[in-house]
Structure 1
């Protein structure tokens, strides 16, 4: 089969330009951070530093693959839902790079003397966020036939749920690193298990959607989504209560876990709980509408 390449006018299309913008900025970001001196790269907390580097490199690789496949028009041969894949990478890229930008700037504030190279990396990371937001907007302006399920409100909520779960991974790891005794505390492993289960359910949902496997599900997909949403809602309610309990006792006793980690976990957990609540409401409404048909 001959390889088909985009026409000349397609290289000036908005989607091509914003993806190129995202690639250039993300490549600049992790290149600058990788070239920092060893003492800066090992500056604690190292867990968040690794999280930032992984995010920049991972989404650079995904965007580069999508960019190449779009140029040679090879994506039609892949067994994936291309419209859902592109919007999921754009939205998750915007959310994850936003988190990395905030965390990286927070790490820079711990330095007494901030050098130009880390500042340039922070600016480049913020520009990467703008590029992914622009790509999300461009994809959302397409016609209804060109937009997938993940472009809808329930689909975006599932991407937000995955983002919230991914933020919890470095937070829990950092808590265990800073305070190893907390790993045996029920208030640490119970939310950790809840986050892991919710991440698994969202990943299963995305695999089914991206692989166009809805028709092959053993259970009705809408009921499966409602069950996953209810499970995530209940688990995040438990985790949120535990997080707020940790916040309330911060001033009453001395803790080995830094207060900023507890506050960050509580804020992200609350936002993810809100996403699950709205998503469950959409799932119930969909089930009710179909039962009256």
Structure 2
């Protein structure tokens, strides 16, 4: 007979296990409230419902696999996978917690159905609490000084998740009538966003799958080189995109009068510009932290 229990009690009794239990509870409450009375509509509501259902299902799977120890049979780096998902879920939940009340919570009570409004307030609160539960897992499992952990638990690894998520926001704004195909320069910016996003996803996937050791060159060196190139590429887009979108010669410095809110190309171009600068700062911070990790890992 094999030694050791079949079930992993630490999956429930540990601080991380408690955080996951709260994630499941608040995720279940959020989905139940939306399905029962709060409801959702349009693309923004569908996005929020997808976030809550996806994160709830994934958390159930992670909790079950760890409690039954079945995760040991998976050919992935489990610690890298779980913290990557926790970081992604934190970002998705905080986005849904902002988008849902902004677009679906209208203060027209008592002239409308107050019960629906109250349910939507409860959904927003429950979503925020779930975000804090996921953020607590990230805080508990992140890299600490002198501790041997996977790459995704480091500041550089967590920043990779944020960079990819910000890129997804940029892509969403690009397809929402940004008119990026008007100029060759803005098309170049889209190529930069796509290239950096693809390489970031490859880095995350290789780390989570545990395939970095199969490379014929040092993985950390490749990551640093790629991050440096991403900083240069994003710096170029941070200059080119605003010029070709907001300069009088190519675009409009201010929002056009009468442009329909939510369907105005200028708004989408502004969102792309803002998150371009955000991602540039993230890549710069990533480059700084990656140098620090390399320094610590050396004798």
TM-score normalised by L of structure 2 = 0.79
Compute the displacement of 1:283 (Å). 4.3
CA contact (8 A) 1:250 1:259 kept: no
Unaligned runs of at least 5 residues, structure 1: none
Compute the displacement of 1:258 (Å). 5.7
> In 2, Cα distance between the equivalents of 1:5 and 1:252?
59
Out of 194, 197, 202, the residue aligned to residue 195 of structure 2 is 197
Give 3-state SS (helix, strand or coil) of 1:80's partner.
Answer: coil
Q: Which moved more, 1:271-280 or 1:250-259?
A: 250-259
Matches of residues 229-240 of structure 1 in structure 2 within 5 Å?
Answer: 229-240=227-238
Matches of residues 153-168 of structure 1 in structure 2 within 5 Å?
Answer: 153-168=155-170
Larger Rg: 2
2:264 aligned residue = 257
2:113 aligned residue = none
Give 3-state SS (helix, strand or coil) of 2:48's partner.
Answer: helix
Compute the displacement of 1:189 (Å). 4.1
Matches of residues 126-145 of structure 1 in structure 2 within 5 Å?
Answer: 126-140=128-142
> In 1, Cα distance between the equivalents of 2:102 and 2:188?
28
2:34 aligned residue = 33
Identify, as 1 or 2, the structure richer in helix.
1
Compute the displacement of 1:225 (Å). 0.8
> In 1, Cα distance between the equivalents of 2:106 and 2:241?
25
Compute the displacement of 1:271 (Å). 1.6
Deviations 1:199-219 (A, max 9, x none): 211111011111111121144
> In 2, Cα distance between the equivalents of 1:140 and 1:86?
11
2:182 is the counterpart of 1:185: yes
Matches of residues 103-122 of structure 1 in structure 2 within 5 Å?
Answer: 103-108=99-104, 112=108, 115-122=117-124
Give aligned pairs, total: 280
2:275 aligned residue = 268
Unaligned runs of at least 5 residues, structure 2: 110-115
Out of 126, 133, 151, the residue aligned to residue 124 of structure 1 is 126
Residues 146/64 of structure 1: CA separation in 2 closer, same or farther (3 Å cut): farther
Deviations 1:228-262 (A, max 9, x none): 21332233223333454445634274566265544
> In 2, Cα distance between the equivalents of 1:146 and 1:23?
29
